[in-house]
A and B are shown apart, each in its own frame.
Chain A
Amino acid sequence: MKSFKFSRRDLLIGSGALAAGATFSTRVLSAAPPASAITPQLIEAAKKEGKVVWYTSVDLPLAERIAKSFKDKYPGVDCRVERTGAERVFQRIGQEYGSNIRAVDVVNSSDAAHLIVWKNQGWLAPFVPEDVAKHFPAEHKDADGTFASFRVFLCPMGYNTNLVKAEEAPKSFADLLDPKWTGKIVKAHPSYSGTILTATFQTSRDLGWEFFEKLAKQKIMQVQSATDPPKKLALGERAVMVDGIEYGMFQLKEKGNPVEIIYPSEGTPLIVGPNAVFKEAPNPNAARLLQSFMFSAECQQLAIDHGGLRSAHALTKEKAGRKPLSQIKLMKDDAAAVEKQSAEIKARYTQIFKV
């Protein structure tokens, strides 16, 4: 697992004086609480609340599948999934909190920078599920125990195997600028998707914004969610995708759809999607139960096997037939830098692509 996203040291190194000061102060004032196991008392209290609301940007069918396995395991606790793009989730929660509405219990975002913001605002509850304490490496959990990496995945390129022969498929981001791909490319949007915002940050950092300026001349089809480009490939609507969720590609491919993943030679953007419980969650016990369930080996393995995600949980196994993370050249993630550049990335992207 080559991710350093949540190590506090990286945060401090990557941050400017101001942000570093903020992170530092939270470190001094608080530390992670002791690990919490799922106790019969917690289950009982969760059943009394009867429901829990999970705001997430996980691809909807997978999110509902996870919710269903939670409901099956803890009958009497309903789990409602509130799914939209991570940037929308962020706006939604900000808007609701600004209006004194406390609807969100547990959150998952594919833009790890959001967790930093929420934590600094003091909105997240320190809560460490037993599995996180025991089986998650330090770089995948917040030192103060407010969040941990629920999911890890990539944002690769891809193509439709009916429309493109394997030997003709692009191998790198640079290949996409070839005129033969004009009008044949689909791409998702960083103002909607946390995955794409994170990927745009990494790609523009490593390849420069000129890459996007040239890409914009390729008459791309602009969709919103990072979950959509794989679906557009499966429909045969476009031949190649610039970015999209790897786990969606796995799912489609394993169901027999004509899609294939490309891990570009420049490196593939690495996305980490942390989960957190809100301090003022309307269903605090059910929220903790859900959070604990989602970090269990059972749920993490379900997300891998059924959903195509990758996991930081030490006891999970990668599924056969998928390229192991260790064999893929990754771009380096940097949530603290994303947090600072987020608005600028969106503005610049919109200026280049016109929407």
Chain B
Amino acid sequence: MTIALPAQAAERAKFKLDYTVPVLAGFAAVLCVLVVLPVSWLIYYSVTIGDPASNVRVFTLAHFYTLFTDPAFVNPLLTTITVAVSSSVLCCAVAAPMGWLVARTDMPFRRTVRLLVTASFVTPPFLGAVAWEILAAPNSGLLNQLYRFVTGAPQDEHLFNIYSLSGLIFVITCYTFPYVFVLVANALDRIPADMEEASAMLGAGTWRTARRVTIPLALPALLAGILIAFLQAMILFGSPAILALPAGFHTMTTKIWSLFQYPPQPELAAAASLPLLVVTVMLLRAQHTILGRKGYTVLGGKNADPRLIKLGWLAVPAMTFVVAVISLPLFLPYFALFNAAFSPIATTLVTPANATLHNIYFTFVELSSTQLALNNTFILGAASATLGTVLALVIGYATARQAVTGHRVLGFLATAPIAIPGIVLGVGLFLSYTRPPLVLYGTLWVLLIAYVTIELPAAYQQLQSAFRAVNPELEDASRILGATRLQTLRRITAPLLRTNVLATWCFIFVSTIRELSAAIMLFTSETKVVSVLIFDLKESGELGAISVLGLSMLVLTFAVVIGVNRMPGFGGTRLRNT
């Protein structure tokens, strides 16, 4: 047997072509088109200026000079950094303990908590920002009305002012912390009991084991979480557009967006986006250095279920903490949206006497863009999720297993879009696809490209860290038995990671529906999506219609996510990884 095996493998290799290299090369080419093309246009625009007389573009550094000297750009840059740092720190402070409580303790309603956090992730940040306007606008906000009612404070006093820097940081954190939570909780799920048992056998107590074994093993996920939280806060457009502009300040994304209002200044916008790219590259390098070569392989061929820490009486404060946290992105905003959906005026409490169906009638009967936008959104969501997952899976595999030379470049290309604010990517794509050979502007294709490009980094990070957690021994066994890399990926690795794959699909689907900033640059009247429609409604103050549209969009999203999770062959009803 031992002698026959290699011979057999050699024999198979003779008859089968290994498509690994050409297929991966193909993916690399796709990535290049997705990423390099728009970025090249951006860089080109950032260092050139059109000469109106000769229609020739000439080299200049004037845009960068403006960027770093004009307070109109320096202030938004500082604001953005403040927002991103504060919100990523807050995210971790909240998400890490919550993830641990849910994954490693016997706290009651753990699954419900996961579901609820998922629900808050599904909420588009701009919808959350609108809901928080209804809750905490200084004068009309429901919470401020309650405060004045309870304390008898005069009309112009308020408890919260959502139109402020701290208000913005708060709302961004509300809708970014699920990223960190999911990463941490999933990482903790994967830590097998045997390591903890080893620690226990060697005499460590429960807490000591948690501190010395569990937490260090979850650290890569936490770091990845901080990174994603930081970058999300940095590139978010909807929330600052809704909360910062009324207060009279810009972040980089809203500043860049304002540069595309008439008359558009794409050169300055391109230049303004490059610092964000540099920051991101530096952060990714830092993450790489910190994690280094430490082995964090925790999913082997044989695993035991994790041990749960018994909380005892601590379950009460733990539950209180969790409920309080979840109420901020979820219970309170949804209460506000439901109220606004049935109220004649968004900030008036609905009573049986004043309840109205007018907003629902308006949204679904009178509003002529609703149907079109819903169709476009769901077609794009499903298509982007499928394409994005396949791309992320293959690239994640290639880099985690270092399958081809140049896998680092692949990894970089897949991660790079995270540094490009959606709105700037939108312009890059606009510049790329409004000219031959590929005239895609005005079609759903250009939005599909935008969505896949934008969601690829997070999808790739998720699947790549999942690959890292799978011990290659299982794949090695498959390869030794004669399978090619692609066969192994399809038959061994992908099934092992099916919950991750499914989670990634749902993740992209949901993120696509949440996406606003690229869509707002790329839509035309025929390719409008729901997020753009909501933003349109927001700018003219149609809070009732926004609430109805937002709530129905979420119902449909949940229907799709739950439907996909129940699909036979996809691991039954497990939702915990989404």
B246 on the interface (CB 8 Å rule)? yes
B11 on the interface (CB 8 Å rule)? no
Is B539 a contact partner of A85 (Cβ separation < 8 A)? yes
With beta carbons under 8 angstroms apart, the residue of A68, A98, A221 that contacts B163 is A221
A15 on the interface (CB 8 Å rule)? no
A228 to B540, CA, bound (A): 5
B295 on the interface (CB 8 Å rule)? no
Is B246 a contact partner of A65 (Cβ separation < 8 A)? no
Is A88 a contact partner of B441 (Cβ separation < 8 A)? no
Residues of A with C-beta under 8 A to B345: 234-235, 257
What are the nearest 4 A-B pairs in CB distance? A228-B541, A231-B541, A237-B140, A225-B540
B139 on the interface (CB 8 Å rule)? yes
Is B250 a contact partner of A355 (Cβ separation < 8 A)? yes
Kindly report which residue of chain B lies nearest to residue A104, judged by CB atoms.
Answer: B525
Give chain A nearest CB distance to B128 CB in angstroms.
Answer: 18
B197 on the interface (CB 8 Å rule)? no
Residues of B with C-beta under 8 A to A221: 163, 246-247
A208 to B122, CA, bound (A): 48
Indicate the member of A99, A184, A231, A238 with the most B CB atoms within 10 Å.
Answer: A99
A59 on the interface (CB 8 Å rule)? yes
Near B by CB (< 8 A), chain A positions 36-74 give 53, 55, 59-61, 64-65, 67-68
A163 on the interface (CB 8 Å rule)? yes
Kindly report which residue of chain A lies nearest to residue B538, judged by CB atoms.
Answer: A224
Is A64 a contact partner of B366 (Cβ separation < 8 A)? yes
B165 on the interface (CB 8 Å rule)? no
Near A by CB (< 8 A), chain B positions 208-247 give 244-247
With beta carbons under 8 angstroms apart, the residue of A79, A96, A227 that contacts B524 is A96
Q: Known interface pairs A91-B261, A236-B139. Does A81 touch B369 (Cβ–Cβ under 8 Å)?
A: yes
A84 on the interface (CB 8 Å rule)? yes
Near A by CB (< 8 A), chain B positions 482-533 give 524-526
Residues of B with C-beta under 8 A to A94: 262
Residues of A with C-beta under 8 A to B156: 183-184
B536 on the interface (CB 8 Å rule)? yes
With beta carbons under 8 angstroms apart, the residue of B249, B261, B524, B526 that contacts A354 is B249
Near A by CB (< 8 A), chain B positions 301-339 give none
Is A222 a contact partner of B246 (Cβ separation < 8 A)? yes
Kindly report which residue of chain A lies nearest to residue B348, judged by CB atoms.
Answer: A235
Give chain B nearest CB distance to A323 CB in angstroms.
Answer: 24
With beta carbons under 8 angstroms apart, the residue of B138, B247, B369, B540 that contacts A80 is B369
For this complex, 28 residue pairs linking A to B, each with C-beta atoms less than 8 Å apart, are A53-B525, A61-B542, A64-B362, A67-B368, A80-B368, A81-B369, A83-B536, A84-B536, A84-B539, A88-B261, A94-B262, A96-B524, A103-B442, A192-B261, A222-B245, A222-B248, A224-B539, A225-B540, A225-B541, A231-B541, A232-B541, A234-B345, A237-B347, A238-B139, A354-B248, A355-B244, A355-B248, A355-B254
Residues of A with C-beta under 8 A to B72: 350-351, 354
Kindly report which residue of chain A lies nearest to residue B372, judged by CB atoms.
Answer: A80
Q: Mark A84-128, 1 if CB is under 8 A from B, else 0.
A: 110110111010101111011000000000000000000000000
B82 on the interface (CB 8 Å rule)? no
Chain A residues in contact with chain B, CB under 8 A?
53, 55, 59-61, 64-65, 67-68, 78-85, 87-88, 90-92, 94, 96, 98-101, 103-104, 163, 183-184, 191-192, 219-225, 227-228, 231-232, 234-238, 257, 342-343, 346, 350-351, 353-355
Chain B residues in contact with chain A, CB under 8 A?
72, 137-140, 155-156, 163, 244-250, 254, 258, 260-264, 345-347, 362, 366-369, 372, 434, 439, 441-442, 524-526, 536-537, 539-543, 545
A191 to B261, CA, bound (A): 7
Kindly report which residue of chain B lies nearest to residue A55, judged by CB atoms.
Answer: B525
Residues of B with C-beta under 8 A to A232: 541
Kindly report which residue of chain A lies nearest to residue B134, judged by CB atoms.
Answer: A235
Per DSSP, chain B at the interface is loop
Indicate the member of B140, B247, B442, B540 with the most A CB atoms within 10 Å.
Answer: B540
Give chain A nearest CB distance to B130 CB in angstroms.
Answer: 13
A59 to B258, CA, bound (A): 22
Is A237 a contact partner of B137 (Cβ separation < 8 A)? yes
A64 to B156, CA, bound (A): 36
Is A191 a contact partner of B258 (Cβ separation < 8 A)? yes
A225 to B537, CA, bound (A): 10
Given A79-B368, A92-B525, A103-B524, 10 extra CB contacts under 8 A: A60-B545, A67-B368, A80-B369, A90-B262, A94-B262, A96-B442, A104-B525, A191-B261, A343-B262, A354-B248
With beta carbons under 8 angstroms apart, the residue of B262, B362, B369, B372 that contacts A87 is B262
Is B525 a contact partner of A103 (Cβ separation < 8 A)? yes
Residues of A with C-beta under 8 A to B537: 60
Kindly report which residue of chain B lies nearest to residue A282, judged by CB atoms.
Answer: B526
A340 to B72, CA, bound (A): 24
Residues of A with C-beta under 8 A to B542: 60-61
With beta carbons under 8 angstroms apart, the residue of A92, A219, A235, A355 that contacts B245 is A355
Residues of B with C-beta under 8 A to A68: 366
Is B261 a contact partner of A87 (Cβ separation < 8 A)? yes
Residues of A with C-beta under 8 A to B367: 60, 64
A238 to B524, CA, bound (A): 34
Residues of B with C-beta under 8 A to A101: 441-442, 524
Give chain A nearest CB distance to B117 CB in angstroms.
Answer: 31
Residues of B with C-beta under 8 A to A236: 139-140, 347
Residues of A with C-beta under 8 A to B366: 61, 64-65, 68
Is B434 a contact partner of A225 (Cβ separation < 8 A)? no
A91 to B521, CA, bound (A): 11
Q: Known interface pairs A192-B539, A257-B345. Does A354 touch B250 (Cβ–Cβ under 8 Å)?
A: yes
Residues of B with C-beta under 8 A to A85: 539-540
Residues of B with C-beta under 8 A to A90: 262
Q: Known interface pairs A83-B536, A98-B434, A355-B250. Does A91 touch B163 (Cβ–Cβ under 8 Å)?
A: no
Residues of B with C-beta under 8 A to A237: 137-140, 347
A91 to B347, CA, bound (A): 33
Is A61 a contact partner of B541 (Cβ separation < 8 A)? no
A24 to B441, CA, bound (A): 36
Residues of B with C-beta under 8 A to A351: 72
Is B248 a contact partner of A220 (Cβ separation < 8 A)? yes
Is B369 a contact partner of A99 (Cβ separation < 8 A)? no
Residues of B with C-beta under 8 A to A191: 258, 261-262
Residues of A with C-beta under 8 A to B543: 231
Q: Known interface pairs A235-B346, A237-B140. Does A353 touch B525 (Cβ–Cβ under 8 Å)?
A: no
A87 to B163, CA, bound (A): 25
A78 to B140, CA, bound (A): 38
Kindly report which residue of chain A lies nearest to residue B262, judged by CB atoms.
Answer: A91
Residues of B with C-beta under 8 A to A53: 525
A99 to B367, CA, bound (A): 27
A221 to B249, CA, bound (A): 11
Q: Known interface pairs A221-B163, A222-B245, A354-B249. Does A343 touch B140 (Cβ–Cβ under 8 Å)?
A: no
Residues of A with C-beta under 8 A to B369: 80-82
Give chain A nearest CB distance to B410 CB in angstroms.
Answer: 32
A227 to B346, CA, bound (A): 16
Kindly report which residue of chain A lies nearest to residue B75, judged by CB atoms.
Answer: A354
A227 to B139, CA, bound (A): 19
Give chain A nearest CB distance to B293 CB in angstroms.
Answer: 47
Give chain A nearest CB distance to B345 CB in angstroms.
Answer: 6
Residues of A with C-beta under 8 A to B372: 80
A64 to B518, CA, bound (A): 27
Residues of A with C-beta under 8 A to B526: 103
Kindly report which residue of chain B lies nearest to residue A186, judged by CB atoms.
Answer: B246
Give chain B nearest CB distance to A187 CB in angstroms.
Answer: 10
A236 to B148, CA, bound (A): 14
A341 to B347, CA, bound (A): 39
Is A235 a contact partner of B525 (Cβ separation < 8 A)? no
Give chain B nearest CB distance to A30 CB in angstroms.
Answer: 27
Residues of A with C-beta under 8 A to B245: 222, 224, 355
A53 to B368, CA, bound (A): 10
Give chain B nearest CB distance to A195 CB in angstroms.
Answer: 12
Is A227 a contact partner of B525 (Cβ separation < 8 A)? no
A237 to B536, CA, bound (A): 20
Give chain A nearest CB distance to B341 CB in angstroms.
Answer: 15
